[in-house]
Amino acid sequence: MKISILSIFPEMFEGFLTTSIIKKAILQDLAEVEIVDFRLFTKDKHNRVDAPPYGGGHGLVLLYQPIIDALKSIKTKDSYVVMMGPAGNTYDQNKVKSFSQIQHLILICGHYEGYDERILNHVDEVISIGDYILTGGELAAMVVTDSIIRLLPGVIREESHQYESFENNLLEHAQYTKPRKIDGFSVPEVLLSGHHKNIDTYRSESSIEKTFKYRKELLEKAKLSPEQEAIFKTLKANKNKEDL
Ligand SMILES: C[S@@+](CC[C@H](N)C(=O)[O-])C[C@H]1O[C@@H](n2cnc3c(N)ncnc32)[C@H](O)[C@@H]1O
């Protein structure tokens, strides 16, 4: 899969692309990431990529011409074009999965006060990473790129995805590592027992409990086994008693 990112701040991506799992995925040719500086495409004699908004107002708006010329220089019939923007569809794990199937994803990073709305005539979808305002689309593009690359085949072990949060609308079970006891806090005994069936049961229960505690609304959409359903019912009953 190839991801092309259109930005006027290519230096923001240096650390991101040369660290940890993303770096390895690129070096192993499991993913290709290209940063396209659309300032190089401007026809403005002062090299500008922005201008004040028509109608007045604060700040600067990104020009149509440099972004669209940059886009045209890289777009193919397999490309899917996404504008990063707070007005877009909220990014979630289902979107990560569908984006990871695309051959060529193009992410456009807005900046300053935003971009000329006419750019959206060349865009397939606008994506927001949450209800808050970032300085620019660069961090949002990194979030999208990171979450997709770790799903690509060979990047991390397939089994790692199996119990990850948001699989089947559940959060991942609690995790513990060395030492067995610290500051009076112990690891649950069952995890030290070596009894795989009991460990699986503990993890399944822990996943339901954590989802109930932090993201109760997800549980309503999850496909639960009869055992998990029973735990969910008990948690709900206990909560109702507490609330009385
Ligand atoms: C300062 S913001 C512009 C915000 C715009 N004036 C508004 O009120 O909607 C600059 C750019 O950052 C990016 N951006 C900001 N917040 C974002 C978010 N939550 N998700 C995705 N991109 C975002 C967009 O590309 C946006 O054009």
Asked if the structure places residue 162 within a domain, the reply is no
Instruction: Quote the tokens at residue 185.
Output: 């806090």
Please state, in angstroms and rounded to a whole number, the distance separating the CA atoms of residues 171 and 168. Answer: 9
Pocket of ligand 1 (CB under 6 A): 84-86, 109-111, 113-115, 128-130, 132-137, 140
Structural domain count, the chain? 2
Asked if the structure places residue 114 within a domain, the reply is yes
Whether residues 192 and 74 share a domain: the answer is no
Q: Which amino acid is at 138?
A: E
Take atom 26 of ligand 1 and give the residue whose Cα is closest. Answer: 110
Asked if the structure places residue 200 within a domain, the reply is yes
Please state, in angstroms and rounded to a whole number, the distance separating the CA atoms of residues 10 and 6. Answer: 8
Whether residues 116 and 26 share a domain: the answer is yes
Instruction: Quote the tokens at residue 237.
Output: 């009953």
Q: List the CATH number of the domain containing 199.
A: 1.10.1270.20
* 129 CA closest ligand 1 atom index: 20
* 136 CA closest ligand 1 atom index: 12
Please state, in angstroms and rounded to a whole number, the distance separating the CA atoms of residues 146 and 155. Answer: 11
Please state, in angstroms and rounded to a whole number, the distance separating the CA atoms of residues 117 and 235. Answer: 48
Q: Domain containing 99: what range? A: 2-157
Whether residues 186 and 76 share a domain: the answer is no
Domain boundary residue among 106, 131, 157?
157
Output the tens digit of pLDDT for each of the chain's 244 residues: 999 999 999 999 999 999 999 999 999 999 999 999 999 999 999 999 999 999 999 999 999 999 999 999 999 999 999 999 999 999 999 999 999 999 999 999 999 999 999 999 999 999 999 999 999 999 999 999 999 999 999 999 988 888 899 999 999 999 999 999 999 999 999 999 999 999 999 999 999 999 999 999 999 999 999 999 999 999 999 989 998 8
Q: Which is nearest to 199 in space by CA: 173, 224, 178, 167?
A: 173
Ligand 1 centre to CA of 104 (Å) is 23
* 87 CA closest ligand 1 atom index: 9
Whether residues 120 and 175 share a domain: the answer is no
Whether residues 115 and 11 share a domain: the answer is yes
Counting ligand 1 atoms within 8 A of each CB, the residue from 63, 84, 119 with the most, and so the one to mutate, is 84
Domain boundary residue among 157, 187, 205?
157
Domain boundary residue among 115, 134, 157?
157
